[in-house]
């Protein structure tokens, strides 16, 4: 029975990683669409919200079934508990990708983009790496990837507020930038929240691996 449980958990883990790659891909494509004003890419990204919602529901059902069927203990139970939490965070990350994609067409009408867009791209690069490392930690059951997450999250928080202040300055100096800068401030918030979700994944992975709770904020 233990052998069968481990096989099923391994298969479920692959589905979670697929979901993670989808969520990350939605964010990545939405930022690419924003950068290149690719309206079609933005629309494709928006439509993927249905896929990530489906994956969320399917993985949850399978994880609950495994708990009920095998009554796992120790790390097996922690791994399934981590999966149940992770899929919620991943669904939200994907949702932010959808939300960014949904405003690409409106923002693209306001070219040229004001300067805060450059810092927004920089913020995304850091956020993307955090999500990737959280997924690696889960995949390899190795907490070395999340060792500096609190410091990295604090840096992203600083970037968000820097973009916010910069946007305010541009809006006051040139009313034509108000729409773009308002959207950029919103997107910076989405990226900050995505990094926060990466931190929550990291917390659960730390518990999964060590059996000890650790707050990352």
Which CATH homologous superfamily contains domain 2-210? Phosphate transport system protein phou homolog 2; domain 2 (1.20.58.220)
Q: Can you read off the two tokens belonging to residue 131?
A: 């999500």
Structure confidence at residue 110 (pLDDT): 67
pLDDT bucket at 2, cuts 50 / 70 / 90: confident
pLDDT digits 0-9 by tens, 79-135: 999 999 999 999 999 999 999 999 998 888 766 788 778 899 999 999 999 999 999
The pTM of this model reads 0.95
pLDDT digits 0-9 by tens, 18-64: 999 999 999 999 999 999 999 999 999 999 999 999 999 999 999 99
Q: Can you read off the two tokens belonging to residue 119?
A: 């810092």
**Mean pLDDT computed over 166-172:** 92
CB neighbours of 120 closer than 8 A, spacing ≥ 6? 163, 184, 187, 188, 191
How wide is the angle at C-alpha 88 spanned by C-alphas 65 and 63, nearest 5°? 10
Structure confidence at residue 115 (pLDDT): 78
Contact 193, 92 (CB under 8 A): yes
Nearest to 216 by CA among 201, 199, 204: 199
CA gap 189, 96 in Å, rounded? 10
pLDDT at 168 over 80: yes
DSSP secondary structure, 141-176, as one string: T-GGGGTTHHHHHHHHHHHHHHHHHHHHHHHHH-GG
Q: Is the dihedral of CA 165, 166, 172, 177 positive or negative?
A: negative
The residue extents of the domains of the chain are 2-210
pLDDT digits 0-9 by tens, 137-147: 999 999 999 99
DSSP secondary structure, the chain, as one string: -HHHHHHHHHHHHHHHHHHHHHHHHHHHHHHHHHHHT-HHHHHHHHHTHHHHHHHHHHHHHHHHHHHHHH---HHHHHHHHHHHHHHHHHHHHHHHHHHHHTTHHHHHTTPSPPTHHHHHHHHHHHHHHHHHHHHHHHHHT-GGGGTTHHHHHHHHHHHHHHHHHHHHHHHHH-GGGHHHHHHHHHHHHHHHHHHHHHHHHHHHHHHHHHS------
């Amino acid at each position: 029975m233990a052998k069968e449980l481990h096989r099923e958990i391994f298969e479920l883990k692959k589905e979670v990683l697929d979901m993670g790659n989808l969520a990350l891909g939605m964010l990545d494509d939405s930022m690419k669409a924003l950068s290149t004003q690719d309206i079609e890419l933005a629309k494709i990204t928006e439509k993927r919200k249905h896929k990530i919602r489906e994956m969320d529901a399917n993985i949850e059902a399978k994880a609950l079934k495994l708990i009920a069927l095998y009554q796992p203990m120790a790390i097996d139970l922690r791994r399934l508990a981590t999966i149940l939490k992770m899929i919620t965070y991943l669904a939200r990350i994907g949702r932010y990708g959808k939300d960014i994609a949904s405003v690409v067409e409106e923002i693209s009408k306001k070219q040229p983009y004001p300067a805060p867009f450059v810092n927004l791209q920089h913020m995304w690069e850091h956020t993307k790496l955090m999500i990737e490392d959280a997924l690696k930690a889960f995949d390899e059951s190795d907490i070395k990837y999340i060792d500096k997450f609190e410091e990295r999250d604090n840096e992203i928080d600083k970037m968000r507020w820097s973009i916010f202040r910069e946007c305010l300055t541009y809006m006051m100096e040139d009313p034509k930038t108000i729409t773009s800068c308002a959207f950029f401030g919103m997107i910076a918030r989405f990226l900050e929240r995505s990094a926060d979700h990466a931190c929550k994944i990291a917390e659960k992975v730390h518990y999964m691996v060590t059996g000890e709770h650790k707050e990352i904020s």
